Chain A
Amino acid sequence: MIDRRDLLRGALFGAGMSAFPKAVMASAARALDMGPVNGSEKLLFIFQRGGNDGVNTLIPDGDGTYGQVRSNELFIQNGLSLNGVNYSRLNPNLDRLVDIFNGDDLALIHRVGDPSMSRSHFKAMDMFEKAPEVDATQSEIAALSGFVPRMMTEAGVPYLGANNLPGAVSISPLMQAMFLAGSSSQVSAHVRDLTLTFTPGPFTDYGLPATSVQHAIDNAAAPALKGQLALNLGFGGLSQEGLLALGFAPGVFGSGLFPSFADFSAMQSSHPWYHVKPSTPVGGYFMATAEQALFTLANSPATRVAGIEIGGWDTHSNQDGTHTELLRWLGWGLRDLYDAIQAMPVDPKITIVVVTEFGRTNFENGSNGTDHGGGGLAMVIGNHVNGGTYNCRDGNQGTKEFGELWPALNPPQWTSPYEDAVPIETEFRDFIAELAHKVLGVPLTELWKVIPGYPANAQGFTDFLS
């Protein structure tokens, strides 16, 4: 029986690989020799920054007022049917997700968000990424760490595990707020998109050790900085296997042991899951980082949480074209990730979580766009998912429809379209708690350490996970 390692070896060393330098194959082989993951559950967060229009992503087709609020360019009439779902339709640009849904591996959870219904991007993002007390002020929230380091601590995940690989990694231009350690010593790694990484050739030409930067740790001025910088030691001390598993290997130290930038581009396109190569910056960036995140989670036993992001969802004007393109990239990327995971003979046990800071106003504004507001749509993909739609149904409940009833988008009691925004049903704090408990195994009694003030029970869970 072919195992996962053999499959990857085949993919890497099969047809088309003869042009690769020996160093590429050697380092790839070393990474693969690390073996399959150790069986621990993992999380991959994909943050849609800007506020995705959930109403036009999972369309409440059964709501007769949908056509009233979305009467112009933003009315979508060809939504896709989903098995067991009566009330809603999926945006046609997410067509690649239909099979996943029908295979019970996709949960679409409507009206997820911050119960204060903040319409500020920055407060709403913080409400998810930092999981603060419900009544915390914006300034108090700004001073908090991200929830990921706290979640790792309570799940017993070290920030540096085997091979000095990090427990969590943010793959983004800047460290995402959910990974910031604050005063904690639980430091996440931060890896930029490989396509922007250049080799520091002369660093080793001069015989300087790759660990030179560990000096940074010795003299850090403040404990928090010291904590942040401590991971340099991890990077500096990483084995080549570790670097490759992080997706960080190509050319990082210019030592000749790693492939060049051009080699990496070729290697990238040969990956079994890299069959779509977007041409736009946003799509290309998303696909590249999604692949890097998967590569890291699948090959690094120590890494339990990764985070990437895709921006551009703040569609205040001329939403139609922008939203269409973004959903296509998202759908393609998610499908590629899913297919790659399915192709691995050893299940890497990755739960993919797509989340945004809020939804959009129900009514179109005067510029064919939508403004900030209301609950957003979250998507969760993985083997532990209770497939179905949530918080978007009526009394005629389909077999895959769960959660609360959908409120009309344009109820008669409203006197002003300004009031329009779908109310929250699944609070961010409950959403995070369910992931922390059911995926990473944080005990119910310890959830308050991850999410301040959280009760020691599962009563708030939506049960989108088994």
Chain B
Amino acid sequence: MTRTATLALAVTGLCTFASPIVAQGTPDPLFDYAHHVARRVAYGPTNALITTLTSSPTGPDDYITAQLSPPNKATSTAVQYHGGQLIADLVNTAGPLLPQQLGDPVTALDLFYAQLGYAMFSEWQLRELMTQFWERHFNTGLYTRAPYFNQGSAIADNNYVFWFEWQANEYYREHGLGGDGTFYGLLRYTAKHATMMVYLNTVYNKVINPGDTPNEDWARECLELYTVSPEHRDANGNWVPNYSQADIEEASRMFTGWDLDPAASYAFEFNTNEHAYPSSGQPTVLLTDSGLPISIAAPIAPAGLQEGEDLLVELAKHPATAQFICRKLIAEFVNEQTVFSPTSTLLNDMMAVWGTAGDIPAVMGVLLSSPDFKRARTRFTRARLPLQAVAATARAFDSTMEYSGLYPVAENLNAPYWAMESMGHRLLLYPAPNGFPTSNDAQMSPSVALERAYYASNLISGDFPVPFMTDTLEINLEQFVASVQPQLPGSPTMANSVPHLLAVVDHMLTSLYGSNYTLADELRVLDAMLGVVNHIGPTFDIANNDDYKAVLEGAAIMAAGMVQSGLR
């Protein structure tokens, strides 16, 4: 069949079977809001999730409320905590994927697979988004510091590195929204955990001999990246600096003597003889530039630990910290334009519930119930980060993992892993302390857009260019379109199959993008179907299941490679 003839049939189909193909753009507020929630509060829609969210008028808001209260690890079953049998199996405590204690063999791939698995399959989707938010916020490229752990032990450096990265990751998962749920808790854990203490040189911050000066690395980034940030915006809209170089030097001094004990599995310890005690008994005043100074009482030896501890408490409750974290959350969950929008009260509303320790679920509750979050013009204004992009495509096609015996085949996650790698993001291993960039600009380079299209191609076809990628997520496209009406006729020909194929086009685009597609999008997917037909040539027969499946794959690749796949 020639391309022209088939296109003619397609046009005939458009005219005759108008129902499915003109679904695009049809206003349906509940459906559109459900898709928005699935893109922002989850790693993208699945057909099951959209069905749930649209089952009642309050479905999306009910989902948000439930997501704000993930299960407590101590009082839940593994399936409840992890968010489903599949993800529980993937990271099963008895399974082979993840380490259970320091020294267990573990690789970077194991950690990547776990992050991808949680993002794609856990029911606790908002918790996973928050886990990655805190991972980026408290980013550690510990891989660069592996030699620190090489202290004569038989255990390989990288087993230490990946164990501590996993331990911190699990902490952010457990306490970054549920559990303790405070910013102070996350900050204190991070400040005293091996990942950060080695990564930003806290372990080398010692003043022992006359003339020794503190190592500024951790204190500087703690103020700049993790708490108050360089500037806050005052009530008049003016930017005000928060700290000076002198503040960094004093903060560095307060953290001297903070160390790890290799003999105790690198648990935190304080060495008073490495601490630089203040020369006077007067309190140390910091952040004077901000207009909201904090005062830290002078410690008396050997209680020097307390001034660093007190500093963390004061930083966590400082208004500049609350503003900075809330700004980042708004940019992440709404968009960058809303942060200081003169018509929005969202930032102030979130800061009002911050409290003294940073009440994360309260802050997120305000954000996700705000008009700024819900409004239509917020939708599709954020570029997906690589993890969000690869997870969303897999979720839209209802991907599943193969099982081998008791456990899912983790290598199924190779395609998304390599796609993320190609988009420049190695989870947990981003080298700089400011974390993987999240701005729209940073996500939308030409090569990243190409990689998204390639990923769609690899994922859907299950065909990989390198030998070791033999496993892939299972996507059953025939099952995916089985409920599409009208169905493929019993004795299909190209002529009588056109209405079905048009409905397939619509189903694929709707599953991926809700109503955010156009007639031009539909024609492109249709054109991809025709490309397959022409590629196979004169032997093409839609009654042949392989040929039918090839058409579905061509359409799915094109649909998943569109620009919308990069937006949420």
Q: Is the Cβ of B431 less than 8 Å from the Cβ of A137?
A: no
Partner of A366, one of B214, B450, B458, B518: B214
Cα separation A229 to B562 with both chains bound (whole Å) = 11
At the interface, yes or no: A37 with Cβ under 8 Å from chain B? no
Q: Is the Cβ of A200 less than 8 Å from the Cβ of B563?
A: no
At the interface, yes or no: B457 with Cβ under 8 Å from chain A? yes
Closest 4 CB pairs of A and B: A207-B535, A367-B204, A190-B445, A366-B212
Chain B residues lying within 8 Å of A122, measured Cβ to Cβ, are 224, 434
Nearest CB in chain A: distance from B419 CB, A: 9
Nearest CB in chain B: distance from A419 CB, A: 9
Cα separation A197 to B458 with both chains bound (whole Å) = 13
29 pairs, A vs B, C-beta closer than 8 Å: A123-B230, A140-B239, A170-B445, A181-B441, A190-B446, A190-B448, A192-B422, A192-B447, A200-B453, A201-B457, A206-B535, A208-B528, A212-B558, A216-B449, A216-B562, A219-B518, A219-B564, A221-B563, A221-B567, A225-B440, A235-B447, A311-B431, A312-B144, A366-B204, A366-B205, A366-B208, A367-B215, A371-B215, A371-B220
Nearest CB in chain A: distance from B19 CB, A: 23
Cα separation A140 to B447 with both chains bound (whole Å) = 27
**Stretch binding the partner chain, chosen from B102-110, B291-299, B358-366, B549-557:** B549-557
A371 with B434: in contact, given A219-B520, A221-B381 (CB under 8 Å)?
no
At the interface, yes or no: B118 with Cβ under 8 Å from chain A? no
A189 with B446: in contact, given A139-B239, A365-B213 (CB under 8 Å)?
yes
At the interface, yes or no: B217 with Cβ under 8 Å from chain A? yes
Cα separation A190 to B531 with both chains bound (whole Å) = 29
At the interface, yes or no: B9 with Cβ under 8 Å from chain A? no
**Stretch binding the partner chain, chosen from A14-22, A56-64, A172-180, A295-303:** A172-180
At the interface, yes or no: B216 with Cβ under 8 Å from chain A? yes
Task: Name B's A-contacting residues (CB within 8 A).
Answer: 144, 200-201, 204-209, 211-217, 220, 224, 230-231, 233, 239, 245-246, 248-249, 380-381, 383, 418, 421-422, 424, 431-434, 437, 440-442, 444-450, 453-454, 457-458, 461, 463-466, 517-518, 520-521, 524, 528, 531-532, 534-535, 550, 553-554, 557-558, 561-564, 566-567
> Known pairs A190-B445, A215-B558. 6 more at Cβ < 8 A?
A200-B458, A251-B465, A317-B217, A365-B212, A366-B207, A418-B213
Partner of B531, one of A181, A209, A311: A209
Cα separation A104 to B43 with both chains bound (whole Å) = 56
A200 with B457: in contact, given A206-B557, A224-B440 (CB under 8 Å)?
yes
Nearest CB in chain A: distance from B224 CB, A: 6
Q: Is the Cβ of A317 less than 8 Å from the Cβ of B204?
A: yes
Cα separation A196 to B213 with both chains bound (whole Å) = 41
At the interface, yes or no: A436 with Cβ under 8 Å from chain B? no
Chain B residues lying within 8 Å of A121, measured Cβ to Cβ, are 432-434
Q: Is the Cβ of B206 less than 8 Å from the Cβ of A367?
A: yes
Nearest CB in chain A: distance from B353 CB, A: 24
At the interface, yes or no: A96 with Cβ under 8 Å from chain B? no
Q: Is the Cβ of A206 less than 8 Å from the Cβ of B441?
A: no
Nearest CB in chain B: distance from A246 CB, A: 10
- Identity of the chain B residue whose Cβ is nearest the Cβ of A321 in the assembled complex: B147
Q: Is the Cβ of B224 less than 8 Å from the Cβ of A120?
A: yes
Cα separation A272 to B447 with both chains bound (whole Å) = 28
At the interface, yes or no: A398 with Cβ under 8 Å from chain B? no
Cα separation A228 to B418 with both chains bound (whole Å) = 23
Q: Is the Cβ of A206 less than 8 Å from the Cβ of B554?
A: yes
Chain B residues lying within 8 Å of A366, measured Cβ to Cβ, are 204-209, 212-215
Chain B residues lying within 8 Å of A316, measured Cβ to Cβ, are 200-201, 204, 215-217
Partner of B217, one of A198, A221, A371: A371
A174 with B442: in contact, given A207-B535, A208-B528, A367-B215 (CB under 8 Å)?
yes
Chain A residues lying within 8 Å of B216, measured Cβ to Cβ, are 316, 365, 371-372
Q: Is the Cβ of B446 less than 8 Å from the Cβ of A49?
A: no
A232 with B214: in contact, given A123-B230, A206-B553, A367-B206 (CB under 8 Å)?
no
Chain A residues lying within 8 Å of B432, measured Cβ to Cβ, are 49, 121, 311
Cα separation A379 to B331 with both chains bound (whole Å) = 38
Q: Is the Cβ of A418 less than 8 Å from the Cβ of B249?
A: yes
- Identity of the chain A residue whose Cβ is nearest the Cβ of B238 in the assembled complex: A137
Cα separation A215 to B518 with both chains bound (whole Å) = 12
Q: Is the Cβ of B463 less than 8 Å from the Cβ of A229?
A: no
Chain B proximity mask over A204-230: 1 for CB below 8 Å, otherwise 0: 011111001101111111101100110
Task: Name A's B-contacting residues (CB within 8 A).
Answer: 49, 119-123, 137-140, 170, 173-175, 180-182, 187, 189-192, 196-203, 205-209, 212-213, 215-222, 224-225, 228-229, 231-232, 234-235, 251, 254, 261, 311-312, 314, 316-318, 363, 365-367, 369, 371-372, 417-418
Partner of A137, one of B224, B239, B437: B239
Partner of A198, one of B424, B441, B466, B517: B466
Nearest CB in chain B: distance from A424 CB, A: 15
Cα separation A180 to B437 with both chains bound (whole Å) = 13
Chain B residues lying within 8 Å of A196, measured Cβ to Cβ, are 421-422
Q: Is the Cβ of B463 less than 8 Å from the Cβ of A205?
A: yes
Partner of A213, one of B201, B449, B464: B449
A192 with B457: in contact, given A137-B239, A215-B561, A418-B213 (CB under 8 Å)?
no
Cα separation A371 to B434 with both chains bound (whole Å) = 17
Cα separation A139 to B328 with both chains bound (whole Å) = 13
Cα separation A317 to B206 with both chains bound (whole Å) = 11
Chain A residues lying within 8 Å of B442, measured Cβ to Cβ, are 174-175, 180
Chain B residues lying within 8 Å of A209, measured Cβ to Cβ, are 531
Q: Is the Cβ of A228 less than 8 Å from the Cβ of B461?
A: no
Chain A residues lying within 8 Å of B554, measured Cβ to Cβ, are 206-208
Q: Is the Cβ of A228 less than 8 Å from the Cβ of B446?
A: yes
Cα separation A288 to B233 with both chains bound (whole Å) = 43
Q: Is the Cβ of A174 less than 8 Å from the Cβ of B224?
A: no
A198 with B418: in contact, given A203-B454, A235-B446 (CB under 8 Å)?
yes
Partner of A207, one of B245, B437, B463, B532: B532
Cα separation A224 to B431 with both chains bound (whole Å) = 27
Chain A residues lying within 8 Å of B524, measured Cβ to Cβ, are 215
Cα separation A212 to B213 with both chains bound (whole Å) = 58
Q: Is the Cβ of B445 less than 8 Å from the Cβ of A228?
A: yes
Chain A residues lying within 8 Å of B248, measured Cβ to Cβ, are 119
A208 with B531: in contact, given A215-B561, A371-B217 (CB under 8 Å)?
yes
Chain A residues lying within 8 Å of B532, measured Cβ to Cβ, are 206-207
Cα separation A180 to B440 with both chains bound (whole Å) = 11
Chain A residues lying within 8 Å of B520, measured Cβ to Cβ, are 218-219
Cα separation A224 to B382 with both chains bound (whole Å) = 12
Chain B residues lying within 8 Å of A318, measured Cβ to Cβ, are 204
Nearest CB in chain B: distance from A395 CB, A: 31
- Identity of the chain B residue whose Cβ is nearest the Cβ of A183 in the assembled complex: B441
Chain B residues lying within 8 Å of A205, measured Cβ to Cβ, are 461, 463, 535
Interface centre among A119, A120, A199, A254 (most CB of B within 10 A): A120
Chain B residues lying within 8 Å of A140, measured Cβ to Cβ, are 239
Cα separation A206 to B460 with both chains bound (whole Å) = 12
Chain B residues lying within 8 Å of A371, measured Cβ to Cβ, are 215-217, 220
Interface centre among B245, B464, B532 (most CB of A within 10 A): B245
Nearest CB in chain B: distance from A167 CB, A: 13
Nearest CB in chain A: distance from B318 CB, A: 18
- Identity of the chain A residue whose Cβ is nearest the Cβ of B436 in the assembled complex: A174
A197 with B422: in contact, given A228-B445, A366-B213 (CB under 8 Å)?
yes
Nearest CB in chain A: distance from B385 CB, A: 11
A190 with B383: in contact, given A137-B231, A196-B421, A206-B550 (CB under 8 Å)?
no
- Identity of the chain A residue whose Cβ is nearest the Cβ of B445 in the assembled complex: A190
- Identity of the chain A residue whose Cβ is nearest the Cβ of B524 in the assembled complex: A215
A191 with B447: in contact, given A203-B454, A208-B557 (CB under 8 Å)?
yes
Q: Is the Cβ of A222 less than 8 Å from the Cβ of B201?
A: no
Cα separation A309 to B400 with both chains bound (whole Å) = 39
Chain A residues lying within 8 Å of B440, measured Cβ to Cβ, are 222, 224-225
Partner of B558, one of A139, A180, A208: A208
- Identity of the chain A residue whose Cβ is nearest the Cβ of B563 in the assembled complex: A216
Q: Is the Cβ of B450 less than 8 Å from the Cβ of A235?
A: yes
Partner of A232, one of B204, B422, B450: B450
